[in-house]
Amino acid sequence: STANAPEDDAPNRYSRTDRTTYSRYSRDANSSGSSVPSNTLEKRIEELERELAKERQENARLMKMTQDKEELIGKLKEEIDLLNR
């Protein structure tokens, strides 16, 4: 699980910058006559960020399950080798 920490930190480092960029872009787009309100875009971004957080949690859970199963497989292989001897 410690190997996954850098991956989890990297997106979090950029999310605030991305949010600022998107907010700035949506305001610029509105001033140029865009029909999409900036608050609608900001709400959509927040919704997508929540979805992303859920997906990251699910990914971490699945990675942990995979690691646990790989460990179990290794232990069972060792046990099979012992039994074969």
| Residue 73 clears pLDDT 80, i.e. is over it | yes
26 — pLDDT class (breaks 50, 70, 90): low
Yes or no: say if 43 and 36 are a contact pair by the CB < 8 Å rule: no
| Residue 71 clears pLDDT 80, i.e. is over it | yes
Token pair, residue 69, equals: 């199963």
6 — pLDDT class (breaks 50, 70, 90): very low
What local confidence, expressed as pLDDT, does residue 37 receive?
A: 83
Instruction: Tell me which residue of 54, 39, 42 sits closest to 18, measured CA to CA.
Output: 42
